[in-house]
Amino acid sequence: MSQSVKRTFAVFVEDKPGVLNRVASLFRRRSFNIDSLNVGATHEAGVSRMTIVCDADEDKAKRIEANLYKMVNVLWVDDITHKQSINRVLALIKVNCNREQRDEVLKICDVFRARAIDMSPDRVTIEITGPQDKVEGLVSVLRPFGILELVQTGTVAMTRGVEKHELAHPTVPASRNSAA
């Protein structure tokens, strides 16, 4: 058995009612644990794209892929874990921050390339996008100030190269046949 690592799947699905439910139901019933799931429109009409992050070893990843493909509404699955890719989450963080602390907080934001987007005399709201670990870094530095609220999206991810997914009639990736 290979090591269990965080895996990222780009999953293209038909934009139809209930598809998110079907995908979520699959992960639940096969006890594949989802870390995060993001879904949104793509540039193609009728096609949505999900980014799913979950823990899985190599075998399990193949089975997740194969099970996703079994769903009629799933068009294309790409396990981009080991591909050169860009992974981003967006977080909004509201922290305690009085006048004396403000400079320091804004400096921290600079270091993390985060932005203060709202401010009141005793708190500031910060927006950050970046890989999950960068967001976690910012959160840990801000924690001593007192975090009042935090919200973040799941990861969205894209490979660096131009991958042509022929969305209308996807061909089957080799891994569908060679699961070994």
Partner 1 sequence: MTPANPKLKNRIGESLSGSQIIWEALVREGVEVCFGYPGGAIMPAYDAMIQYPIHHVLTRHEQGASHMADGYARASGQVGVCIATSGPGATNLVTGIATAMLDSIPMVCITGQVPSQLIGSDAFQETDITGCTIPVTKHNYLVTEPEQIAPTIREAFYIARSGRPGPVVVDITKDAQQKSCVFEWSDEEIVLPGYRPDYAPLAEQLDEAVDLIKNAKRPILFSGYGIIKSQATETLKKFIETTNIPVACTLLGLGGFPATHPRNLGMMGMHGETWVNKAIQDADLIIAVGMRFDDRVTGNLKTYAQNAKKIHIELDPAEINKNVRVDVPIVGDAREVLEALMPRVENCDRPDWLAYIDEIKGGSAVRDIKNLPDLGKLYAAHVIHDLYRFTEGKALVVTDVGQHQMWEAQYYKHDYPRKLLTSGGLGTMGFALPAAIGAKFAEPDESVWVICGDGGFQMTAAELSTCAQEGIKVNVAIINNGFLGMVRQWQQFFYGGRYVATPLLSPDFVKLADAHGLTGLRVEKRSEVEAAVRTAEATQGTVVIDFRVEQEDSVYPMVPAGADLHNMIERPGKPGGSEHNPIFETGKDD
Q: Which of residues 71 and 158 has its CB atom nearest to partner 1 in the complex?
A: 71
Exposure string for 85-115, b = 16+ CB within 10 A, e = fewer: bebbbbbebbbebeeebeeebbebbeebebe
- Distance in angstroms (rounded) separating the CA atoms of residues 173 and 180: 14
Among the listed residues 75, 91, 109, 114, the single contact to partner 1 using CB under 8 A: 75
Please name the helix (run of DSSP H) or strand (run of DSSP E) that holds residue 12, with its range, or none.
strand 5-14
Min separation Cβ 17 and partner 1, Å: 8
Binding residue (CB under 8 A) for partner 1 from 6, 62, 134, 165: 62
Q: Is 88 in the site for partner 1 (CB under 8 A)?
A: no
Instruction: Give the range of 120-128, 144-152, 153-161, 168-176 binding partner 1 by CB under 8 A.
Output: 168-176
DSSP 8-class letter at 32 = P
**CB of 63 or CB of 134, closer to partner 1:** 63
> CA nearest 113: which of 144, 91, 84, 94?
91
| Interface ranges with partner 1 (CB under 8 A) | 13-14, 17-18, 21-22, 25, 29, 59, 62-63, 66-67, 69-75, 167-170, 172, 176-180
